[in-house]
Amino acid sequence: MLTVRTRVAPSPTGDPHVGTAYIALFNLCFARQHGGQFILRIEDTDQMRSTAESEQKILESLRWLGLSWDEGPDVGGPYGPYRQSERAAIYQQHVQELLERGHAFHCFCSPARLDALRKEQISLGQNPCYDGLCLHLAQNEVVERLASGEPCVIRMKVPQEGVCTIDDLLRGRIEIPWSQIDMQVLMKADGLPTYHLANVVDDHLMQITHVIRGEEWISSAPKHQLLYQYFGWNMPTLCHMPLLRNPDRSKLSKRKNPTSILFYRSMGYLPAALLNYLGRMGWSMPDEREQFSLEDMIREFDLSRVSLGGPVFDVEKLDWLNALWLRSLNPDSLVQAFMDWKFNRPFLDQVLAQCLSRIQRLSDVVPWVGFFFEGLPEIKAEQFAFKKVDAAQSREILFALLWASEQAIAWNSATVEAMCVSLAGHMGFKLRDFMAPVFVAISGRSSSTPVMEAMAIMGADLVRARLRHAIQILGVLSKEEELLVVQKIQE
């Protein structure tokens, strides 16, 4: 009998997203329930955007949630390496196979030509797609141009007519006309694969039997199905899960809801509660029970109970569930959860070092550093009127810092300080004046322990949430206002 093998395949290009945990959870439950294996694969072929920090945070967050994988970049396994950047030779070999069989072709079109083509197609109201200029180049011309070192990509051939049918475990048969499918680039000019090639080759070589992923990938399925056919491989069963949504039903986005798993950890949600909540996204227990553990979910799991109406990720509902979990812990587990959260040696070491020079008694500790343990501080707009900086400038400063913190790759006191100094310079403020609203947004008061160090210790996710919270109190910037600030700080 076929062993079920599922995987989650995050791209390490940002904060560990709750959507990744949601997909990982469903893959894990499906695999475990069938006595199969669950694999973690890192899809880092986008060298510009992938970072080791992001990968490490994804692994840490999934582990914190208790989602454990049988094979992955950290634990190894028989089908490794599990990081795509270490598999370049495998993709090279496979793309050569497609070229030899006539399923792929070299394309020498310059980015400028492709850009002009795209603009023209858009102005004519057409779907932007490659027009096939290089599809029929003579073999000797290709050889010559390659020999001369001209940069090129490799694209897959795609039928021009007819309809592609995709079978989806949840949605049944989906029909997509081939005319909507682009001649996808498989190998970039730098010799690295695109997502599509690497994903198909790896799912096959790693013997994945079921691909359970977000519905945003449905439109890629025809390309993938065609690649499986070109290689002569069986395609795994596809299952596209409904996307998580904001309460206004738009796609879950960090503008409207915190999306980083680490934010939920630093706010003091229990991993079991967050997992439970994610499990309720589009799925329910046969007895409709709201509170259930991962073990319960694995035991009762049934994909056919997934409903397709976009599940809403609602923090208030999560709060309610987290409260239920907190109250259901026995005293030992409750204290343990509290210590795991922030009352542990490594965190206390850092926090006490911040206030030691200011205290005379231990009872002075909380007034100084209580804000390290808060969620979103209670603040009022009136707190943001300073001698040199008014409320309007405060909101620009806070937005600039939020924007910059979202671009930041490394987060420590040196990078936070460099960020603040550079922003203050670009915006024409003295550092002290620039920091005044930041103090209030981060600590809830007008003075505190050194705020840049506090930001480094608290972590980027909580800092961003507090900045957003303060901006909301002062009035959210319009798109135009945001653009003006961003232009100023990029000058």
Sites of contact with ligand GLU (CB under 6 A): 9-11, 43, 195, 199, 213, 217
User: Which conformational region is residue 475 in: left (phi greater than 0), alpha (psi within -120 to 50 degrees), or beta?
Assistant: left
Contact residues for 136 (Cβ-Cβ < 8 A; gap 6+): none
> For ligand GLU, which is the closer residue by CB, 259 or 354?
259
The least distance separating ligand GLU from the CB of residue 181, rounded to whole angstroms, comes to 17
Burial (CB count within 10 angstroms: exposed 0-12, middle 13-18, buried 19+), residue 234 = exposed
Q: Is the peptide bond before 331 cis (omega within 30 degrees of 0)?
A: no
Min dist. Cβ of residue 126 to ligand GLU (A): 27
- Cβ at position 7, least distance to ligand GLU in Å: 7
Q: How far is the CB of 278 from ligand GLU (least distance, A)?
A: 16
Catalytic-residue membership of 488: no
Strand partners, 105: 155
- In terms of Cβ atoms closer than 10 Å to its own Cβ (0-12, 13-18, 19+), residue 240 is buried
Cβ of residue 42: shortest distance to ligand GLU, in angstroms?
A: 9
Q: Which residues contact 456 (CB under 8 A, 6 or more apart)?
A: 411, 412, 413, 415, 416
DSSP structural state of residue 219: G
Least distance in angstroms from the C-beta of 488 to ligand GLU: 33
| DSSP E strand stretches across 126-206 | 153-156, 163-168, 172-177, 185-187
Of 55 and 396, the one with the shorter C-beta distance to ligand GLU is 55
The answer for residues whose C-beta is within 8 angstroms of residue 396's C-beta and 6 or more apart is: 427, 477, 481, 485
Catalytic residue among 157, 188, 254, 488: 254
Nearest to ligand GLU of 306, 457 (CB atom): 306
Residue 369's Cα: distance from chain center in Å? 31
Measure Cα distances from 22 to 75, 125, 309, 319, 376 in Å: 21, 36, 16, 17, 25
Rounded to 5 degrees, φ, ψ at 450 are -50, 120
For residue 221, CA distances in Å to 52, 218, 228, 420 come to 28, 5, 10, 44
Q: Which long-range contacts (CB under 8 A, 24 or more apart) does 336-341 make?
A: 337/270, 341/265, 341/268
In degrees, to the nearest 5, what angle opens at C-alpha 58 toward C-alphas 482 and 329? Answer: 105
Phi-psi region of 107 (alpha: psi -120 to 50; beta: other; left: phi over 0): beta
Of 78, 79, 76, 83, nearest in space to 58 by CA: 83
- Asked if 272 contacts 302 with a C-beta cutoff of 8 angstroms, the reply is no
Q: Looking at beta carbons only, is 49 or 388 nearer to ligand GLU?
A: 49
Cross-strand pairs, 167: 173
Give me the least distance between CB of 166 and ligand GLU, in Å please: 14
Of 224 and 466, which CB lies nearer to ligand GLU in the complex structure? 224
Minimum CB–partner distance for residue 334 and ligand GLU (Å): 35
State the catalytic residues. Answer: 254
